[in-house]
Amino acid sequence: MCGIIGILGNEPAAPRLVDALKRLEYRGYDSAGIATIDASGKMDRRRAPGKLNNLDEAIAADPLAGNQGIGHTRWATHGLPTVGNAHPHVSGPVAVVHNGIIENFRELRQELEAEGHQFETETDTETIAHLIASNLKKGMGEVEAVKAGVARLHGAFALALLFEGRSDLLVGARKGSPLAIGVGEGEMFLGSDALAVAPFTNRVIYLEEGDVCVLSHESYEIFDRKDKPVERAVSIVQGAGAAAEKGNYRHFMQKEIFEQPDSTGRTIGAYTNILRQTVELPGEGADAIDWSEVKYLYMIACGTAHFATRVAEYWFEQCAGLPVKTDIASEFRYREPALAKEGGLALFVSQSGETADTLAALRYCKEQGLKTAAVVNVPTSSIAREADLVLPTLAGPEIGVASTKAFTAQLAALAAVAISAGRAREQISRDAEIRLVRALTELPRLMSTTLQLDERIAELSRDIAKASDVIYLGRGVHYPIALEGALKLKEVSYIHAEGYASGELKHGPIALIDEETPVVFVAPFDGLFDKSLSNLQEVAARRGEVVLISDAAGVRAAGETPASRIELPDCDPFIAPILYSLPIQMLAYHVAVEKGTDVDQPRNLAKSVTVE
């Protein structure tokens, strides 16, 4: 959570900092602030609660000079999202912006207060500024003061630090939260990710755990966790800037929904050999896992990524005959689960690759001696670096806080991996593999056709926007899609929604049904359709407002019972959960637009959940 940026530049820093914060706003948007150093070495800051336009206004009313500065967009952890709690935090000559949580800040604060430091905020971050200022007072130089300071911090942090009087110095440090250096021409940058620095440079160095970096306009030095100077590879980042633009779309969420034929197609392309009609896992070391030796598969993730694993559970069981257990990372990590160390494989799914609970669960499994694999969208992320095998999704940067294209890319990658596991375990025939690979390669075309339903879904959303509760039902592999539908609606429209397995309806949830409650059935005409139809009729008999999402045969079979119908193109049942993700995303999007919520940055949320 929280986005940070630092600039040692050759042109006014304030507009560049705000521009970078706009691209980082997906990481948090409770408050924002910047600090700059002018030509005389004087430091000053502006901060504002709420969205970035408030900061923009504060800067317009009282401009900040200087070509160097740091900036922050906040997702509050300690203290309300007020001006006072907004970063940068300052103590003496030190200004700091921070992403993460300092767990021992109370002890440090007591110690610093005893030394005479006066605190102005309730934040953990202010402690860092005072700690480093205290080290400076003890006679340390700036870099030494930072190194000694970070050595005392417990928890997670990415930091960018400025020092009054030092207009050619920017110091960064990372442990547990991502941080990258942007290498420009006579300019240097620090950012939470490549997106932050994309308009300034495409040359990026991803710092490793425990690194401290010292930047001047012309050079950079990196020290590892043992304080040894180290070289880190410079990556050339392509196209990250363009991804942060909305283009002709009204919202990033809408753009990302419409990108899915491409993003899913790219992912499927990376996992399949169309000519040979076979699955080939991408990347080096893809054969690191011998699926014929795997006896038990654990799939661990959070939120939407967890629902991707819930769909994949069916695929791994059916295609590969593999016993699977799925878990929410925040539960898994503290349960001390008994794991099958012999033949157990732990597979983690994460868009950001930085989710704190998922990362902790990965580390737990590694400690337990399990082999690990990760389906991730950010190849330079912590989860990608730490897993034994990386299975990339090629969704491209996802900016909308509600996950859409990353979810379908995760599903596509997991479907391909399940086929590959099925082949290795001799659970599927060559003919079956050809059919499944064909089905996957059909998906982008079917997605494009499905996206044409947008107007029809927008129409339908007007009624749903009036509801205060919505129920989503699905059976089998579509049960997790119902869960995802409810999550999507909740997070962007703030309407209360619940997802259930259709068969579970009569065990309690049916009590919720009345004429005010829309019930969305995700039910293609598959082997379970008749069962779903019975449930649909039970709902209609209780005057529930049924919305059926199905195909032509399903819509025909349901007749006039559902109040509304969304008819998708026919598809192979194997890929249906991926295709049926689109209408539930479109529905959530249009309901949110209808309700006038902040679609791309819903209240209280952040894209990258790097705190537990």
Could you list the active site residues? Answer: 2, 607
Residue closest to ligand F6R when measured from CB atoms: 303
Cα–Cα dist 23/496, whole Å = 30
Q: Which of 133/376 has CB closer to ligand F6R? A: 376
The set of residues, in sequence order, having a beta carbon less than 8 Å from that of 555 and lying 6+ positions away, is 548, 565, 567
CB 276 to ligand F6R: min, Å? 31
Query: Please, which residue, 134 or 381, has the CB nearer to ligand F6R?
Result: 381
Q: List Cβ neighbours of 357 (8 Å cut-off, separation of 6 or more).
A: 302, 328, 329, 330, 333, 609, 612
Asked if 98 and 192 count as a contact pair (C-beta separation under 8 A), the reply is: no
Contact 146, 158 (CB under 8 A): no
Helix (H) or strand (E) holding 45: strand 43-49
Instruction: Return the structure tokens found at 387.
Output: 């897993």
Q: Which is nearer to ligand F6R, 134 or 352 (CB)?
A: 352
Token pair for residue 328?
Answer: 């929410």
CB of 306 to ligand F6R, least distance (A): 7
Q: How far apart are CA 493 and CA 591, in angstroms?
A: 6
CB of 307 to ligand F6R, least distance (A): 8
Place of tokens 């952890």: 77
Cα–Cα nearest to 441, from 253, 276, 254, 243:
276
Give the nearest distance from C-beta 587 to ligand F6R in angstroms: 14
Of 147 and 607, which CB lies nearer to ligand F6R in the complex structure? Answer: 607
Which SS3 state, helix, strand or coil, does residue 451 take? helix
Q: CA torsion angle for 239, 189, 161, 40 (degrees, to 10)?
A: -140
* Residue 304 or 408 with smaller CB distance to ligand F6R: 304
Residue 475 is classified by DSSP as -
Closest distance to ligand F6R from the beta carbon of 366 (Å)? 17
- Count Cβ atoms within 10 A of the Cβ of residue 40 and give its class: 0-12 exposed, 13-18 middle, 19 or more buried: exposed
- Footprint on this chain of ligand F6R (rule: CB under 6 A): 302-305, 350-352, 355, 358, 402-403, 491, 609
Judge contact between 488 and 307, C-beta under 8 A.
no
Query: Shortest approach of ligand F6R to residue 437 CB, angstroms?
Result: 26
Closer residue to ligand F6R (CB): 485 or 544: 485
